[in-house]
Amino acid sequence: MAAQWRTPLSNPIAEWVAVLLTVPLLLSVAVWNGFPLIFYDTGAYILQGFDHVFIAERSPVYSLFLRYAGGPASLWYVAVIQSVVVAFVIVEFARALKPGLPLWVLLAIGAVLSVATGLPWYAGQIEPDSFTAVAPIAIYLLAFHRLGWVRNLLLTLCAAFAASTHTSHLGVAVGLSAIVVIVRVATKLRPAVVLPAISCALAFIIIIGCNYAFTRHVFINRTGSVFLTARMMQDGLIKPVLDAECPSAGYKLCAYKNHLPDRADTFLWVEQKSPFARVGGFKKWSPESSRLLKESLSHYPLSNLAWVGIDTALQFFAYPTGDGIVPQEWVLETEFRHAIPKQTGEYNSAYQQRGELWFLPVNLVHVPVALFSVVMLFVFLRGAASVRDWRSAVLPAFIVVALLGNAFICGVFSGPHFRYQSRMMWWPTLAVILIGAERIPVLRQRFESVT
């Protein structure tokens, strides 16, 4: 039995056992909570997926995933499938970097990640956030490692699906795939470019197909300009346009230009009180939002550029776990009683709905660990660059670029929020552990003896 625990991940049996045994670690928080974790958006995803009602601001891909993953019977099925996908990419990432890693060490790393990062808080949450890091990890593996056709196929599918579950995921995946092409053209590293490109193409096909299934129209996203304009409004970049052009420009928002909320979230989501609801909401305001953002960009380019930098930086360092993981029964109980009536009892009795989650002690661990992981990535990158070891520089550089890409897309289009960056921070921590393991003599000898 002891020998089996020491079996390296290069052994296919140990590889798949590692996936199976990692899943309970990822579900640990949801199990302790008594129900999969819920976010404000969860009800909209369920309504869209279960009742086939198109909601422009929510991903139809993830909504249909909830439906066909068994969500109507139990959201636990969804949480389990999410955890299997995440566990698979974790194991494949560890196996690619350290094929000699013993099974017990991988599970120990999984336990550390479950305590020291937000990993189980997102893997067990009914939100696309569970897949945010999946596409970048899969694209990295497809580009820089040779894993065999079965693993490549599975990782391509994982990357495509993860990228399709949210437009921010798609943006990061496309950006990273483009960077892989640049690295291949401009350096001697020669990463593979076909499979990352295929995964992005599949993501586009999935998104277009699901949008067409709901609307009978072909498109990627209809609300990007709305979110971007709301963020620009929050940063004070829309009010000057309204002051200069109202009422002659004919904007619906002119009537409310002196009563705009200070926060984009207030503008978008306080439905009965916000001017946004009165000018048509997501369904009707998109054309006007496009006009406003174009006017703001053309008249105030330097201010817009400055705020892009500020919001990206703020988002990059937004690490706390728990954003929006609050009691949701007053928001979603009506929707849940309609869509999943047999699950509402378990839902209402969970710690989350009872208001018994306290994230201060959690973040006293998670935030320093995230910051330390980012610092160590730069340390590893600098060390590799100083000796011109470009292959060793690839992974820390790739992760930093992925984090910057996520911070840029989320910070600029939606404004900085803690959850946007914290949902990715378990990956830097995992990478730092695996890279740093070489500096522990006992583990280094173990890796070398196998590889």
Chain segment 74-98, per-residue pLDDT in tens: 999 999 999 999 999 999 999 999 9
Cβ contact 204:220 at 8 Å: yes
Residue 451: pLDDT band by 50, 70, 90 thresholds? very low
Q: Number of structural domains, the chain?
A: 2
Question: What residue type is assigned to position 309 of the chain?
Answer: G
Lowest average pLDDT, out of 26-35, 328-337, 367-376, goes to 328-337
Answer whether residue 435 shows pLDDT above 80: yes
DSSP string, 53-90: ---TTS-HHHHHHHHHTTTTT-HHHHHHHHHHHHHHHH
Does residue 425 sit within a domain? Answer: yes
pLDDT tens readout for residues 164-181: 999 999 999 999 999 999
Residue 337: pLDDT band by 50, 70, 90 thresholds? confident
Answer whether residue 445 shows pLDDT above 60: no
pLDDT tens readout for residues 346-368: 999 999 999 889 999 999 999 99
| Burial (CB count within 10 angstroms: exposed 0-12, middle 13-18, buried 19+), residue 184 | middle
Q: In terms of residue numbers, what domain contains 291?
A: 224-316
Residues 15-41: what's their mean pLDDT? Answer: 96
> Which of these three, 259, 286, 316, is where a domain ends?
316
Residues 224-240: what's their mean pLDDT? Answer: 93
> Which of these three, 316, 342, 377, is where a domain ends?
316
Answer whether residue 449 shows pLDDT above 70: no
| Burial (CB count within 10 angstroms: exposed 0-12, middle 13-18, buried 19+), residue 310 | middle
Does residue 50 sit within a domain? Answer: yes
Torsion of CA 399, 404, 407, 413, to 10 degrees: -130
What integer pLDDT is reported at residue 334 of this predicted model?
79
> Which of these three, 316, 335, 354, is where a domain ends?
316
Domain match, 299 and 328 both: no
Domain match, 276 and 376 both: no
pLDDT tens readout for residues 276-314: 988 888 888 999 999 999 999 999 999 999 999 999 999
Answer whether residue 329 shows pLDDT above 50: yes
Which sign does the torsion angle of CA 69, 74, 75, 79 carry?
A: negative
For 430, the enclosing helix (H) or strand (E) is helix 426-436
Domain match, 109 and 61 both: yes
Q: % helix / strand / coil in the chain, to the nearest 5?
A: 70, 0, 25
Residue 114: pLDDT band by 50, 70, 90 thresholds? very high
pLDDT tens readout for residues 56-78: 889 999 999 999 999 999 999 99
Domain match, 18 and 95 both: yes
Answer whether residue 266 shows pLDDT above 50: yes
Mapped onto helix, strand or coil, the DSSP state of residue 222 is coil
Does residue 60 sit within a domain? Answer: yes
Residue 5: pLDDT band by 50, 70, 90 thresholds? confident
What integer pLDDT is reported at residue 87 of this predicted model?
98
Report the candidate in 91, 65, 93, 89 with the shortest Cα–Cα distance to residue 79: 65
Q: Give CA angle at 100 (95, 104), nearest 5°.
A: 85
Domain match, 291 and 275 both: yes
Report the candidate in 168, 177, 109 with the shortest Cα–Cα distance to residue 144: 177
